[in-house]
A and B are shown apart, each in its own frame.
Chain A
Amino acid sequence: METILKVQQLTKRFGPLHAVNQLTFEIQKGNVYGLLGPNGSGKSTTLGMLLNVVNPTSGGYSWFSNQLSTIEALKRIGAIIESPNFYPAMSALDNLKLVAKIKEIPLPDYEAKLRLVELWDRKDEAFKNFSLGMKQRLAIASALLNDPEILILDEPTNGLDPKGIRQIRDMILQIAESGTTILLASHLLDEVEKICSHVIVLQKGKMLYNGKVDEMVASFGYVELACESNDKLLPVLHQIPQVKEVKSIASGKLKAILESELLPEEINKICFEQGIVLSHLEWKKETLEDNFLALTKSE
């Protein structure tokens, strides 16, 4: 698989604060990556360093296996950071023309990009008169202008109304389906869950998880059980090979976390054979949110 970006030991310090701490990851072509973390976890700083606007304290990164200088690489990337930044007095179309000049795009297709984000009808309006949703859409059109090999988005739905959020998400999914690699920074879990195939979790500048979203959404789930006497139930559960861990939880139930597939009816059967009658049996799957909170809590 083609490596688009390789990050090694990337670190940024602001005084005593480690905004980004020894970050190492790779981005492969064709995947949709989520950079997930609470506010202030170093997502924007990381993207800032990758996009040459923040100077790393140590460590480094290379675009496209070092075949290009960072500046040349940036011309093949589409990126929007935080708020959409354009020249307020210029029209949407003129702003895109300027971007094309900067990126040295030989034959930019303004109409196709503006139609994609539904702004073609308003192409001659000044940027300052746009609503936030329209500004964000223009930013996406601008980022797509060079048919980038990777699209980098930083909190693209921040501050938008539900309709705007939906619109942007649909657009990103559409772009992802066309095979464009995407790196999406967000603090919204369900956004990452809905859009991304891979996720990198950051907390206080440290990477806590790096892998596929489905693998992080813990695998086989867990089972909540209860019976007359939990003391009898406990050793039985421990004997089941698929059970990784058993915990007592509130409301007098036991929680058995599974490490491989085990159907609820099988658990029921095992317990019944051991002479235990369950009064409660419920199979649950953890959400990304549970996992995320579990991950970030342990730190």
Chain B
Amino acid sequence: MRRLLSIELFKLKFSKSAKVLCIIYFLLFFGTALFSMIRFKFGDFEFRLADQGIFNFPYIWHFNTYMVAIIKLFLAVVIVSMVSSEYTNRTLKQNFIDGLSKKEFVLSKFYTLLLFSFISSVLVFSVSIVLGLLFSDYNEPSIIFSDLHFILAYFIKLTAFFSLCMFLAILVRKSAFALGFLFLLLIFEAIVIVSLKDNFPWFSKFLPLESMANLIKEPFTKFNVVKSASTAMGTDLSRDVNTYWYEYLIAIGWTVIFIFGSLNVLKSRDL
């Protein structure tokens, strides 16, 4: 495992675009955190997002993992390009000739995306805990460490999403097409979800992107301000935003499918 990871990281070390995208990713990461700390002044009215309770434990786990997951797209581009560049530089072929097995190739990419997901999870944990300790109204350890399953959900969500990116890149070989495919899949799922909403609502849970989205559902209706506003307006916005065990399983199932799918594509294809 260490050998495969070191091979892949060695390749990434020299990729300028990968470095730039990673830096942008981590800047955005901290940028979102810093943004919420800014005070807005509208004349006499002072507004600070951080004071509105979004950084309260344990709500912060839900809110931060949900928001930060949006910028995973930057890392997805890194993953897609690190796979498709192997095709365009024809180094994939040379790797195999040099004695890297197809399984090892997929594993080296998979370990790297696991590492990306892991680092992101550690970061989202650290950033949240710092922001929480600064702004949260409740600071009892039992409250701080409740709802930590969102970090696990975040890790699984990222791993599944990156595996999908890797699979698409191996399948279509060109990074632009792979990202285009990802976008098409998103539209396709939206159409399926809408058209099956009435008769087979359970079916949408099994769609790949939807299954990843279900791991961390939107946190807004749970937010106190929104809750009180909705009750004030007399509409009940509250929805079921819990994550169930089978939803983890579906996302993990897709990850397995993508990894073995990648391997199968590589094995059956002549280079």
Are A and B associated in one complex?
Answer: yes
Mark A residues whose CB is within 8 Å of B. Answer: 48, 51-55, 71-72, 74-75, 77, 79, 81, 83, 85-90, 94, 97-99, 101-104
A89 touches B16 (CB 8 A): yes
B11 touches A98 (CB 8 A): yes
A53 touches B271 (CB 8 A): yes
Chain A nearest CB, measured from B19 CB (Å): 10
Residues on the B chain within 8 Å of A99, using CB:
98
B93 within 8 A of A: yes
Jot down 7 A-B pairs with beta carbons below 8 A, ordered by A.
A48-B271, A53-B270, A55-B270, A85-B89, A98-B11, A104-B3, A104-B99
Question: Given A89, A94, A101, which contacts B3 in the complex, CB threshold below 8 Å?
Answer: A101
A48 touches B270 (CB 8 A): yes
B32 within 8 A of A: no
Residues on the A chain within 8 Å of B16, using CB:
89
Residues on the B chain within 8 Å of A102, using CB:
7, 95, 98-100
CA of A88 to CA of B91, assembled, Å:
10
CA of A90 to CA of B15, assembled, Å:
8
A54 touches B270 (CB 8 A): yes
Size range of the chain B interface in the assembly:
20 to 34
A53 touches B14 (CB 8 A): no
B90 touches A85 (CB 8 A): yes
Q: Is the contact region of chain B dominated by helix, strand, or loop, or is it mixed? A: helix
Residues on the A chain within 8 Å of B6, using CB:
101
CA of A285 to CA of B95, assembled, Å:
45
CA of A41 to CA of B26, assembled, Å:
52
Chain A nearest CB, measured from B2 CB (Å): 11
Nearest A residue to B269 via CB reads: A55
Chain A nearest CB, measured from B234 CB (Å): 61
Asked, given contacts A88-B89, A104-B3, whether A75 binds B99 with beta carbons under 8 Å apart, the answer is: yes
Asked, given contacts A85-B91, A87-B11, A101-B3, whether A71 binds B97 with beta carbons under 8 Å apart, the answer is: no
B270 touches A74 (CB 8 A): no
Nearest A residue to B17 via CB reads: A89
B199 within 8 A of A: no
Nearest B residue to A71 via CB reads: B101
Residues on the B chain within 8 Å of A77, using CB:
99
A86 touches B94 (CB 8 A): yes
Chain A nearest CB, measured from B101 CB (Å): 5
A101 touches B97 (CB 8 A): no
CA of A89 to CA of B271, assembled, Å:
23
Nearest A residue to B105 via CB reads: A102
Nearest A residue to B95 via CB reads: A102
Asked, given contacts A71-B101, A89-B15, whether A101 binds B93 with beta carbons under 8 Å apart, the answer is: no
Asked, given contacts A75-B99, A89-B16, A102-B95, whether A55 binds B268 with beta carbons under 8 Å apart, the answer is: yes
B246 within 8 A of A: no
Q: Find residues 78-94 in chain B having any chain A CB closer than 8 Å to their own CB.
A: 89-91, 93-94
Chain A nearest CB, measured from B107 CB (Å): 13
Chain A nearest CB, measured from B271 CB (Å): 4
Nearest A residue to B90 via CB reads: A85
Contact code string B260-271 (vs A, CB < 8 Å = 1, else 0): 000000011011
Question: Given B10, B91, B96, which contacts A53 in the complex, CB threshold below 8 Å?
Answer: B96
CA of A51 to CA of B270, assembled, Å:
11
A74 touches B99 (CB 8 A): yes
B99 touches A53 (CB 8 A): no
Chain B nearest CB, measured from A42 CB (Å): 13
Question: Given A83, A101, A104, which contacts B90 in the complex, CB threshold below 8 Å?
Answer: A83
CA of A277 to CA of B101, assembled, Å:
71
Residues on the B chain within 8 Å of A79, using CB:
97-98
B96 touches A89 (CB 8 A): no
Asked, given contacts A48-B271, A54-B270, A87-B14, whether A81 binds B97 with beta carbons under 8 Å apart, the answer is: yes
Question: Given A72, A74, A94, A97, which contacts B97 in the complex, CB threshold below 8 Å?
Answer: A74
Nearest A residue to B7 via CB reads: A101
Residues on the B chain within 8 Å of A86, using CB:
89, 91, 94
Residues on the A chain within 8 Å of B94, using CB:
81, 85-86
Nearest B residue to A76 via CB reads: B99
Residues on the A chain within 8 Å of B270, using CB:
48, 53-55
Given A85-B89, A85-B91, A89-B14, 4 more pairs with CB closer than 8 A: A75-B99, A81-B94, A102-B7, A104-B3
CA of A71 to CA of B10, assembled, Å:
21
B7 touches A98 (CB 8 A): yes
B99 touches A97 (CB 8 A): no
Asked, given contacts A48-B271, A54-B270, A55-B270, whether A101 binds B91 with beta carbons under 8 Å apart, the answer is: no
